[in-house]
A and B are shown apart, each in its own frame.
Chain A
């Protein structure tokens, strides 16, 4: 029998496709194969009948491994890190509620870690039953970009807040500087006249002498505030010299030596290993910073204690000076305000609340930073980080 010349019996209309329809289908298949989105459809029981190349790639399987297998088994999805149970898989939802569904799910398979947008819709095909058609889009990169954008926006907001804050500080500094200048002269005049009166008062007139003492004491206090303000708002250029940071710290300690001894405070010093850690700084200003921190530490230990100072190299180009006390520590509530000008917990003991804010400004003017760790009841550690002199 010559098979090619056989006259074929009539063809069942249902199973045959016209040539033009085949051409259309061929072009559709080609077009669908170029899509980045994965497309898959299945029968009324959710078994896959067709998929495009992108779906094969997503699963890392060939079409022959995919066809006929239920989509629920092929595409295990997770929501918030938990695997979906079969009832809540989009393929099951579509069959149960018979209306379109869209959702975002996580997909972890074959080393992939993706976020997928799964869109499902029903295609009623009359006598040929109903198909469920899914379009699956990998939105992992979109999600990452969105998250990065949100983070960048939050950082921008934060920077803006800091900028407003530092602008306020700068304005306050300029204002303080002007104010301090204006007050310094009248204070000098008051003190001069108080001393004039003191000389003119008979030694026996104790009441007047006491009044003059009060005036002088208040003038000295006002003068201390004014000096602090001038330092806070100082616009003068730094008198920079290159010097071993240990020398500056020892200078500050020497100024306080007697006071610490009287208060039963023991100094523990850990000398840094050579070579000397040299910094390019305004020596007086940095010594003022150490002096302020050491004074605070001493005041935190009214019943005595231990003051530990430690200098160390930090990475390649920084040094760290740690000053640790065993005092009362700083409460959480006070921590937030500790660098605010005029914030003090020692107003009754003569504190004016400029020591730390001035110190922070000075350190930051030297491109350094100032850090605080504190535990109420156990003590406080202040760390000053300064850049090492260039060339070391």
Chain B
């Protein structure tokens, strides 16, 4: 299984990392290029900014459940999902989301391969 550290060094695919509160902690170059966000503008924001409005409830509840139980339902498998660009468009991408437990907290990472 791919580690967050490995994800951080990928340059062939858009990559995004987030902390236990769902705050964005890292985006790579391809991510900025494909989705139009620059690092300064998006770091520290909630993951919600790249999630389509329609999926907000599902994200909040699903993310919260994972933090409560530690049992994944969507991790480690390719998912066809939409992500929101800086200018508000919704781009379909194959998401692969992973999580790591570091120093008592969950950290998240994902590749978003545009379709």
Query: Which A residues lie at the B interface, using CB under 8 A?
Result: 3-4, 6, 8-12, 15-17, 19, 21-30, 41, 43, 47, 49-50, 63-64, 67-68
Contact = CB atoms under 8 A, between A and B. Distances in A.
Contact of A26 (B26, B49, B56, B69): B69
Interface of B: 8, 17, 21-23, 25-26, 40, 43-46, 48-49, 52-58, 60-69, 74, 79-81
Given A15-B48, A29-B61, A67-B54, 9 more contacts: A3-B43, A6-B44, A8-B44, A22-B68, A25-B60, A25-B61, A26-B67, A43-B54, A50-B57
B81 A64 contact: yes
Nearest to B102: A4
Contact of B44 (A10, A67, A68): A10
A3 B25 contact: yes
13 contacts: A3-B25, A9-B44, A16-B22, A16-B46, A17-B21, A23-B64, A25-B65, A26-B64, A26-B65, A29-B61, A43-B54, A49-B54, A49-B57
Contact of A27 (B40, B55, B68, B81): B68
A11 B46 contact: yes
B56 A49 contact: yes
Given A8-B43, A12-B45, A64-B79, A26 B54 contact: no
Contacts of B40: 9
Contact of B68 (A15, A23, A49, A67): A23
A68 B54 CA distance: 6
Question: Binding site of B, secondary structure by majority: helix, strand, loop or mixed?
Answer: helix
Given A9-B44, A22-B67, A17 B57 contact: no
A24 B63 CA distance: 12
B43 A49 contact: no
Contact of B80 (A9, A24, A63, A64): A64
B60 A17 contact: yes
Given A3-B26, A11-B46, A15-B46, A68 B55 contact: yes
B41 to A, nearest CB: 9
Contacts, number: 94
A3 B8 contact: yes
Contact of A50 (B8, B52, B61): B61
Nearest to A52: B61
A30 B65 contact: yes
Nearest to A21: B64
A134 to B, nearest CB: 14
Contacts of B21: 16-17, 19, 22
A10 B23 CA distance: 11
A47 to B, nearest CB: 6
A28 B69 CA distance: 12
Contact of A67 (B23, B43, B45, B58): B58
Contact of A9 (B43, B63, B67): B43
Contacts of B54: 43, 47, 49, 67-68
A326 to B, nearest CB: 78
Contacts of B8: 3
A4 B64 CA distance: 21
A25 B64 contact: yes
Nearest to A28: B61
A22 B22 CA distance: 11
Q: Of residues A16, A24, A26, A49, which shows the largest number of chain B Cβ atoms within 10 Å of its Cβ?
A: A26
B63 A22 contact: yes
Nearest to A43: B54
4 shortest A-B CB distances, which residue pairs? A8-B44, A26-B68, A3-B26, A25-B64
B52 A68 contact: yes
A19 B81 CA distance: 26
A67 B55 contact: yes
* Interface hub of B21, B52, B57, B60 (most chain A Cβ within 10 A): B57
B3 to A, nearest CB: 14
B44 to A, nearest CB: 3
Contacts of A28: 61
Nearest to B95: A64
B54 to A, nearest CB: 5
A48 to B, nearest CB: 8
Nearest to B20: A19
A4 B45 CA distance: 14
